[in-house]
Structure 1
Amino acid sequence: MTNRTLFEMWGPFRQSIIRSHKFYVEQAHRRLLSQFDNINKDADQAAEDWLEAQSCNFDPERHDPADFYERANDVGIEFYQLLVDMHERTRLSVVAGIYHEWDKQFRKWVYDEISHWYRGEIVLAKIWTVDVGKLVELFSALGWEIRNKSYFQKLNTCRLVVNVFKHGDGTSLAELQQHYPEYLYNPFDSFGGQLSDVTHLDHTNLRVSDEHINEFSEAMIEFWLDLPERIVNSPSASLPKWFESAILIDQKNENNNK
């Protein structure tokens, strides 16, 4: 298998993936996130709508107008906070959407390319089930050192953010606390001391900004642009143990079926 092409990225396919990704991110900003540009105005309108709806219940001989205006103000504040929370969840949903799509496209490309020269069911199934770090190990063994690339940290951070958004507290949250606390909102950060310790934060403190979305997006685009046009077999390559183990199982199954 010396110098045999194992993986190939066709130029038009690469550009198609990038165009699709850019379209998703651009439209997410335009059609989803832009809906929260005027939440102060929306909250004021909610308060006015409440006052108008309650006008039929107002009796000037029995009611103090100040009480109604105070209640309307409370309605506006509550509406504003609900919109803020929805805005945060929408941003996180966009991040999860672009990450999961990147992950699936990467795995499908790997699966399709391996299918050209290998048919073992266990290896092919592993492409969809191992964590993405295992796939990074495979390509590192073949000469594409993804972990050394500038975009890798952002991709890994995006993975952690999505895991915390999806699963809540756990090891991904601990990694964010230790290495990327900027994605965790700490309302007591300015107080200093124990109150500013990020280890007291949990998944409810997870936050991403529009700029974070753009940074994650750029990392994914850089990944696709950096992916080599051809990755060839190297006789000296030391393949990851998970890949070798899967091959051995395939070989054993093939021998048993003879």
Structure 2
Amino acid sequence: MTGTYVLFQMWGPFRQSLIDGHLFFVEQARKRLLTQFENIEAEADKASEDWLENNSHRFDPDRDDPGSFYEAAGEAGIEFYRLLSEMRDQTQLSVVAGMFHEWDKQLRDWLVREIGHWHRGDLAAEKIWKANFSDLADLLEGFGWKIRSTGYFKLLDACRLVVNVYKHGEGTAFENLKREFPEYVVDPFTDENGVKFYNDLGIEWRDHTHLKVSDVQLQAFADAIVSFWKDVPENISKADVTSVPAWFEKAILKDRGQKAGAK
């Protein structure tokens, strides 16, 4: 092979189709899912009114205290608001998970298909699909794409941890998220504007149930995926390769029936 031999190519129309598909997903998720939670305060008020209407037959003016009756209606509205808020947060996280997993699969699929143009064997492809996020970053860096120094990589890494915690709860990913990106582990005594209404619950006391992604953070994740696809080099040639991770080299050589280090 010569130094100009192209190993990976991102065809312009394909790049645009990836971006368009991603933008469609985000737009429709907002339109069909997230907009349903825009008026939960009004819906909670309606829940209180419904409680009063549905329980009015139980009120006896000779025995019951009207204040207690209205207090119970208020509590019903508060509980409705709490449950709907939790559903909104879970829906927001599911949207984040959906778009991250789709990006992750599309990246691996592109890598495997491009490798298939110049390499024959199943092990290299298998390793690509099994590689973790850091392994893939090592591979891309070895191809000359200094991805770790970009802002969108940091956002994608945060998104990965958020999705992992959303799926698995407590564990290594949650500890990493608290340490590296604590802004996604929200103080329960802080409102949506960041105003505290009780003493702060320190980050060390928060658990996976405090995971939350705001609308602004969701959009930042979505923008990071667009930036990633826009930044994929149009061509990566043999001359661009500085090194490859040991796991990838071993897979390539094993597919070829060679041993690592053999000439």
State the TM-score, normalizing by the size of structure 1: 0.90
Partner in structure 2 of residue 214 of structure 1: 219
Map 1:33-48; keep pairs closer than 5 Å: 33-48=34-49
State the 1:188 CA deviation.
Answer: 5.9
Partner in structure 2 of residue 256 of structure 1: none
Once the two structures are superposed, what CA deviation does each residue of 1:181-236 show, in whole Å capped at 9, x if it has no partner? 111112468677xx653122111111110000111111110000000111111387
| Distance in structure 2 (CA, Å) of the matches to 1:233 and 1:209 | 42
| Distance in structure 2 (CA, Å) of the matches to 1:145 and 1:217 | 21
Contact persistence 1:142–1:234 (CA under 8 A): no
Contact persistence 2:144–2:240 (CA under 8 A): no
Contact persistence 2:7–2:114 (CA under 8 A): yes
Map 1:7-156; keep pairs closer than 5 Å: 7-156=8-157
Q: Pick closer, same or farther for the CA change 1:22–1:55 going to 2, 3 Å.
A: same
**1:204 equivalent in alignment to 2:205:** no
Greater helix content: 1
- 208-217 or 64-73, which moves further after superposition? 64-73
Q: Could you list the runs of 5+ residues in structure 2 that have no partner in the other structure?
A: 191-195, 259-263
Partner in structure 2 of residue 183 of structure 1: 184
Q: Aligned to 1:91, what secondary structure does the other structure show?
A: helix
Q: Could you list the runs of 5+ residues in structure 1 that have no partner in the other structure?
A: 254-258
**1:234 equivalent in alignment to 2:253:** no
Q: Pick closer, same or farther for the CA change 1:66–1:85 going to 2, 3 Å.
A: same
Once the two structures are superposed, what CA deviation does each residue of 1:62-98 show, in whole Å capped at 9, x if it has no partner? 4333332221111101000001111111111111111
- Return the letter of the residue paired with 1:205: H
- Return the letter of the residue paired with 1:47: S
| Distance in structure 1 (CA, Å) of the matches to 2:60 and 2:187 | 45
State the TM-score, normalizing by the size of structure 2: 0.89
| Distance in structure 1 (CA, Å) of the matches to 2:147 and 2:63 | 72
Contact persistence 1:123–1:250 (CA under 8 A): yes
State, as a whole percentage, how many aligned pairs show the same letter. Answer: 51
